Structure 1
Amino acid sequence: MRPLLLLRSSVTFLRSQSSGAKLLTQTAAPPFCLRKSMHYQTEERGHPHSPDYRIYFKTSKGEYISPFHDIPLIAVTEQEHEVPPKKSKKSESEVLFNMVVEVPRWSNAKMEIATKEPLNPIKQDVKKGKLRYVANVFPHKGYIWNYGALPQTWEDPDHTDKETKCCGDNDPIDVCDIGTQVCSPGQVIQVKVLGILAMIDEGEMDWKVIAINADDPEAQSLNSIEDVRKSRPGHLEATIDWFKEYKVPDGKPENQFGFNGQFKDKDFALKIINSTHEHWRALVQSQTNSGAIDCKNISVCESPFKCCAEEARGVVHAAPEFGSAHPVSPEVDKWHFL
């Protein structure tokens, strides 16, 4: 069975049945849900702040999974299955997405989903043999939002964006959660999409979805990029500055942006998300060149990379056991003035 697909911003869903595809819109019955909501757990392996550190994911039943491939893109709650809600927290037309948090706000370690490793754990990025930490560019300290990715999306490096003429960066699409809660690496939250920024990183398309944790006290009042601009003066400008300058202390040029650095609206963001979801589907079903991407999963039907729970468990148990954290260089706390 195929997971839910977002087709357009008017909240239309597609599901596959034995009799064929059927369209459901918001004027029809509630969308058909294919799986019950899961609470995800994490398991640390290796030593924090070292190259062997990994955060693996598993379900509430203890089954190891890939956060890239096995966590659904669209968040489904128990209430949408069988329990009538006492009070709706969102409008019927609001679609919430699962976000895998890689980097908590205010932290510096560049944690990311390891797309080229089995089960795609979170690890710290390494460049030239050194662990990567983002620089603190005044007045910012570390990441200024909870930073992560939407599961079951992929920016295809063989796909050229019609607007920017750039190819994808070979990763899941990135998300900036502007909520007030400081999350933890590996936390899976439900977010409401507000807009998107077209960042161009060394010639590659690197979309940045702007979203807010659905449980945030301000989530109900923030429904668009314009809402963010009005209620949080300077936040969007700070986001542009951060992405433009964060690599400069490492000797890299400033990043560039499509659309003259303007944030695109929610409808545009949903189209991009849908496109990257379709690219992911082709990837995990071996309909496109996966290159070095590891597509091992335990739940994606029609995927030749699907494995059993025992095999997934073997992947995790082969990793080093969790140990004490390594020291972090004081250089990580240095402030850079550009």
Structure 2
Amino acid sequence: MKVDFYTPKREYNEKKEEFNKAIQNVLEKGNFILGEEVSNLERAIEEYTGAKHAISVASGTDALVISSDILGFKNGKEVITSPFTFLASTSCLVKHNAKPVFVDIDEDTFNIDTDKIEEKINSNTKGILPIHLFCQMSDMDKIMDLASKNNLSVLEDAAEAFGMKWKGNNSTTYKHSGTLGDLGVFSFFPTKTLGGYGDGGMIITNNSDLAEKVKMFRVHGASKKYHYDYIGYNSRLDTIQAALLLVKLKYIDNSIIKRNIVSNWYKERLKSIPYIKIPKIKNDQHPVYYVFNILTEKRDELCAYLKEKEIGCSIYYPIPLHLQKCFSYLGHKKGDFPVSEKICEEILALPIYPEISEEEVDFVCNAIKSFYKK
């Protein structure tokens, strides 16, 4: 049996008529840049997340770059973040000549260890950039308390966190990821929980002034056509992508439920294997399993074995950012962030998407069991 790590084909075949109609409608209207589907998607994201403003851009990376610029994460200012993440979560700072200040992660959640943030705050610190990774949000209670106490801006990297919600200790209701900080970003990369058929991103905020800046920054800094208030960017979500995302958004709650069901299949079948550790969900929040990770002994050998069995798997992430060549100028060395380094050697992502079958999950888990019996 072949089990893809991810495939868009099953979802497309299930909803082919809706997707084709959505594309055809855009083609017939001929409005490919900031068409009505883009506005409709932005309003739909506002309704779904509870954010006052949602502004679409061309990618999750652009969302981070633009947000960092607007929040003043630049010109030598320091921004506290995690070294255990995708490049874009930190390159967005470096592109504006800000200095990323890394804090190690919590071994159980893979998110930034909020108990270690305060010691990194100084008079040059401008903000905090937490990344909500894989299935759960960072401890936003502690992050927002520290930000308020030290007058810092918070940019939530919720690229992987669509559908995740946080309650914590300071609220009576759950709040969607991206709505707690000053700005929050989503990615619509195809593999994401809400993914398009190409690149796409969104910036959300409850601050109207910031929202107006984002709208200008995405169209070269223009307040109206050919009137430029800022040196901005060319970053607009394609109308076709917006149309496709509107179709997917109708089914997002069911997709999230299915992902959580799949995660429970894995947990139940793998819990008896002593060589495997499954991350813990911490704090009062609603997780969403964008990725299902395990920590495992002999990770590289297991990954190779699974691929021999035609089972897709992936490693998020093989090298922490502080040890990447492009960040060598920061002067970090091996051992500076030991938890991140340890996780990078043990983590392995297994196939998870709403259309995967229980039979396929059984096949994956049986293959893992057979590997450790060798």
TM-score when scaled to structure 1? 0.26
**The structure with more radius of gyration:** 2
Give 1 or 2: higher strand fraction. 1
Give 1 or 2: higher helix fraction. 2
